[in-house]
Amino acid sequence: MSSAWEVRLSNSRGVPYFYNTETQQSVWEAPSELSSDQIKALPGAEHLNATPPGQVRASHLLVKHKDSRRPSSWKEPTITRTKEEAINILKGYQAQIGGDPKKFAELASKYSDCSSHSNNGDLGFFGRGQMQKPFEDAAYGLKPGEMSDIISTDSGVHIVLRTA
Ligand SMILES: N=C(N)NCCC[C@H](NC(=O)[C@@H]1CCC/C1=C\[C@H](COP(=O)(O)O)NC(=O)[C@@H](N)Cc1ccccc1)C(N)=O
């Protein structure tokens, strides 16, 4: 069956989606019936990796503490560690990561107190005004592939990896 799918760019969110020209169906995720090669060959596939103008893409490893705005996570229903303890834990991860993005992804998946842990810490693309200021400033201050030092937001303490 010839695929009627094509990739389009959503103006509102500045991210790509999949549109079926026969059924007029729109979906955010790649249709499961398409192989990755078929997806890459779709009309508009160039949108799949484009960075929306003015946006960045980043991942993070978050360690929350008792003064976090929401001291709870998938890992721990009630987080009681102090901010100082959280920083020391994150310093330990930072030493293990040693600037290696693969190691970062592995530790973010295992230990980040953010729901993005299930996607190697990836937050997707975001523009200015979406994240808390210290996080935004860190992400925009990095080049793609670079990692921040430890930063602090109302959510906790983070290491940020800019990916695009
Ligand atoms: N993509 C967006 N625009 N999602 C909304 C971001 C809201 C923003 N969040 C932050 O600034 C911090 C830094 C990064 C994550 C984050 C906090 C928290 C964890 O802390 P907590 O809120 O329990 O204090 N994680 C989130 O929000 C997650 N939904 C981020 C995410 C997870 C999976 C996929 C995409 C995004 C804010 N303005 O508060």
* pLDDT number for residue 80: 98
- Ligand 1 — pocket residues by CB below 6 A? 60, 62, 68-70, 114-116, 123-124, 126, 130-132, 135, 153, 155
Beta bridge partners of 7: 18
| Ligand 1 binding pocket mutation candidate from 113, 116, 133 (most atoms within 8 A of CB) | 116
Residue 98 alpha carbon to ligand 1 centre in Å: 25
Neighbours of 63 (CB within 10 A): 29
The rounded mean pLDDT for the chain is: 94
* pLDDT number for residue 52: 80
Determine contact, residues 63/146, Cβ cutoff 8 Å.
no
Return the beta strands (E) in 13-164 as ranges: 15-20, 26-27, 56-63, 122-126, 151-153, 156-162
**Average pLDDT of 123-151?**
97
Dihedral angle at the C-alpha atoms of 73, 77, 80, 83, nearest 10 degrees?
0
Beta bridge partners of 6: 19
- How far is the C-alpha of 93 from the C-alpha of 138, rounded, in Å? 18
Determine contact, residues 68/79, Cβ cutoff 8 Å.
yes
**Average pLDDT of 69-84?**
98
- Taking CA atoms only, the protein residue closest to ligand 1 atom 23 is 70
pLDDT in tens, 5-55: 999 988 776 788 999 999 999 999 999 999 989 999 999 998 887 888 899
Residue 2 in this model has a pLDDT that exceeds 90: no
**Average pLDDT of 117-141?**
97
**Average pLDDT of 87-101?**
98
Residue 27 alpha carbon to ligand 1 centre in Å: 23
With the C-alpha atoms ordered 100, 101, 103, 104, is the resulting torsion angle positive or negative? Answer: positive
Catalytic positions: 60, 114, 132, 155, 158
Q: Which two tokens stand for residue 91?
A: 């310093």
Per DSSP, 91 falls in state: H
- Taking CA atoms only, the protein residue closest to ligand 1 atom 7 is 131
Residue 95 in this model has a pLDDT that exceeds 70: yes
Atom of ligand 1 nearest to the CA of 135: 13
**Average pLDDT of 136-143?**
98
Beta bridge partners of 56: 126
Give percent above pLDDT 70 in the chain: 98
Task: Encode 72-100: b = buried (16+ Cβ within 10 Å), e = exposed.
Answer: ebeeeeebebebeebbeebeebbeebeee
List domains and CATH numbers for the chain: 5-47 (no CATH), 56-162 (3.10.50.40)
* pLDDT number for residue 104: 98
